[in-house]
Amino acid sequence: MSVQAQAAVISGIAAFVGVLVGEIFLRQRTRQARKQSIESTFETYAQPIAASSSELFWRLRELFGRQRDEVYLKGHEHFTNYEHYKATSTLYRIAGLIAWIRALRRELVYIPGSKPSKVKELDKALQAFTSALADGGHVEVRRVESLIRALDIDAQFANESIARSGSILHRQVDHYLHEQEAVSVEHLTSEQQRGLARILSKTLMESLDCDQGISEKIEESINSVMAALAVREAYVYRDWQSAIGDLMLREVGGGQRQFEVLGFKEFESICSQGREEDKLWLRRLNAVIDDLDTSGDREKDARITQLYEVYLAAARIIMALDQSKAMKSRISDVTLIAAQEVASQRL
């Protein structure tokens, strides 16, 4: 090969390597910039999320702490100014944290890529809060377990079978109540309850692969079966939470954040004289705390466990913010100690 040809080859290789190195460097810079942008967005919302989760944490501590004060949530109507304020304020604090999480998610939509390790614990805690309001798989399992006890079925079933059975039963009960135009099994007539029992007996036999005279036992134990089904629930599904968050947010310009959460005055105005389409979303959230007795029977009211999981999630958000120095949030020592105590507990 001539000298000129060798020089051309070497020049070509050098050009290729130069382009390759440049591309690698550019991609690294892009990834680093994306990582810094994600961290910066989390930092921007760290303080309002810290303040909101702390306020909600202390309110729920009134319901689940050693010195409980849950009287203001009992009953559908609140006759004193104190009861009305506390109930409305509790709703506002839950909605407020939903909104700050929604604001963070909306800004992160425009930043592609996975989340850096600095914010993964906080992101996990925020997801736990969302799940606490939205998920009810444990209630479906508990319902099937209650039916098994009520029918005195002597057998062991795999967790997967019970979970699958619970999911099917939940849908069937909801569909049946809708067809009968009833809000709960307690509002069904005796004949309607027996009709539901026949449907459920077939489902139990098929989903659990068990007979043991289930059809006859359900007919004989109709009151116990209906009691096992009459669990009060109020889940706030993820898309509902997004809608509630959007309702609570206001776009702002010229600041670090793109969004701010509306104040209590405007929130209470929406509750009392807002548009019906807006009040619909708040009613769906209020169903979680409406006429709630946190000292009641968790077997009959799944919302007690649900709200306690929200309480735990608020505590873990506080801890995640404190552990991540990059978040630069200011959490009081009293709040942090209380949150650490709660985060280690279960209901």
Give the pair of three-digit tokens for residue 157: 């079933």
Total tally of structural domains belonging to the chain: 2
* Claim to verify: residue 93 and residue 65 sit in the same structural domain: yes
Q: Which of 206, 229, 252 is the last residue of a domain?
A: 229
Q: Note every long-range contact of 38-43, with CB atoms under 8 Å and residues 24 or more positions apart, other chains counting.
A: 38/108, 38/111, 38/113, 38/115, 38/116, 38/119, 39/116, 39/118, 39/119, 39/326, 41/104, 41/107, 41/108, 41/111, 42/104, 42/118, 42/119, 42/122, 42/123, 42/326, 42/327, 43/326, 43/327, 43/328
| Region class of 152: left (phi > 0), else alpha (psi between -120 and 50), else beta | left
Whether 347 has a pLDDT exceeding 60, the answer reads no
* Claim to verify: residue 145 and residue 176 sit in the same structural domain: yes
Give the pair of three-digit tokens for residue 194: 């027996």
Whether 21 is in a domain gets the answer no
* Claim to verify: residue 103 and residue 154 sit in the same structural domain: no
Look at the block and give the residue holding tokens 């910039």.
Answer: 33
* Claim to verify: residue 162 and residue 300 sit in the same structural domain: no
* Claim to verify: residue 289 and residue 318 sit in the same structural domain: yes
Question: Who wins on pLDDT, 112 or 339?
Answer: 339
* Claim to verify: residue 63 and residue 150 sit in the same structural domain: no
Question: Who wins on pLDDT, 315 or 78?
Answer: 315
CA–CA separation, 58 vs 290, rounded Å? 19
Q: Which of 200, 229, 258 is the last residue of a domain?
A: 229
How much is the average pLDDT of 219-247?
Answer: 89
Highest mean pLDDT among 54-63, 71-80, 320-329: 54-63
CB 84 within 8 A of CB 78: yes
Q: For residue 7, which of 17, 15, 19 has the smallest C-alpha distance?
A: 15
CA–CA separation, 274 vs 247, rounded Å? 11
Q: Which of 229, 249, 267 is the last residue of a domain?
A: 229
Whether 89 is in a domain gets the answer yes
Instruction: pLDDT band for 34, please (50, 70, 90 cuts).
Output: very low
For the stretch 132-152, pLDDT in tens is: 999 877 788 888 888 888 777
Q: Note every long-range contact of 291-298, with CB atoms under 8 Å and residues 24 or more positions apart, other chains counting.
A: 291/73, 291/74, 291/75, 291/76, 292/70, 292/73, 292/74, 293/70, 293/73, 293/74, 294/63, 294/64, 294/68, 294/70, 294/73, 295/68, 295/70, 298/347
* Claim to verify: residue 150 and residue 292 sit in the same structural domain: no
Instruction: pLDDT band for 175, please (50, 70, 90 cuts).
Output: very high
Whether 35 has a pLDDT exceeding 50, the answer reads no
Question: Who wins on pLDDT, 12 or 105?
Answer: 105
* Claim to verify: residue 147 and residue 290 sit in the same structural domain: no
CA–CA separation, 259 vs 282, rounded Å? 20
Percent of the chain with pLDDT over 70: 81
Helix (H, G, I), strand (E, B) or coil at 68: coil
* Claim to verify: residue 100 and residue 248 sit in the same structural domain: yes
pLDDT of residue 162: 87
Whether 333 is in a domain gets the answer yes
Q: Taking the CB of residue 145, how many other CB atoms lie within 10 A of it?
A: 15
pLDDT of residue 319: 92
For the stretch 253-297, pLDDT in tens is: 766 788 999 999 999 999 999 999 999 999 999 999 999 999 888
How much is the average pLDDT of 205-228?
Answer: 79
* Claim to verify: residue 129 and residue 242 sit in the same structural domain: yes
Whether 144 is in a domain gets the answer yes
DSSP string, 190-235: HHHHHHHHHHHHHHHHHHTT--TTHHHHHHHTHHHHHHHH--B---
Statement: the pTM of the whole predicted model exceeds 0.85:
no
Q: Are strands 259-261 and 249-251 parallel, antiparallel or unpaired?
A: antiparallel
Question: Who wins on pLDDT, 315 or 325?
Answer: 315
Whether 318 is in a domain gets the answer yes
Q: Which domain holds residue 204?
A: 138-229
* Claim to verify: residue 151 and residue 98 sit in the same structural domain: no
Instruction: pLDDT band for 122, please (50, 70, 90 cuts).
Output: confident
* Claim to verify: residue 59 and residue 159 sit in the same structural domain: no
CB 151 within 8 A of CB 218: yes
Strand partners, 250: 260
CB-hemisphere CA count at 13 Å for 205?
Answer: 14
For the stretch 81-111, pLDDT in tens is: 888 899 999 999 999 999 999 998 888 765 5
CA–CA separation, 234 vs 238, rounded Å? 13
pLDDT of residue 236: 94
Whether 18 is in a domain gets the answer no
Whether 331 has a pLDDT exceeding 60, the answer reads yes
Whether 7 is in a domain gets the answer no
Whether 33 has a pLDDT exceeding 60, the answer reads no
Q: What residue type is 166 in one-letter code?
A: G
Whether 302 is in a domain gets the answer yes
Mean pLDDT (the chain) is 82
DSSP string, 18-64: HHHHHHHHHHHHHHHHHHHHHHHHHHHHHHHHHHHHHHHHHHHHHHH
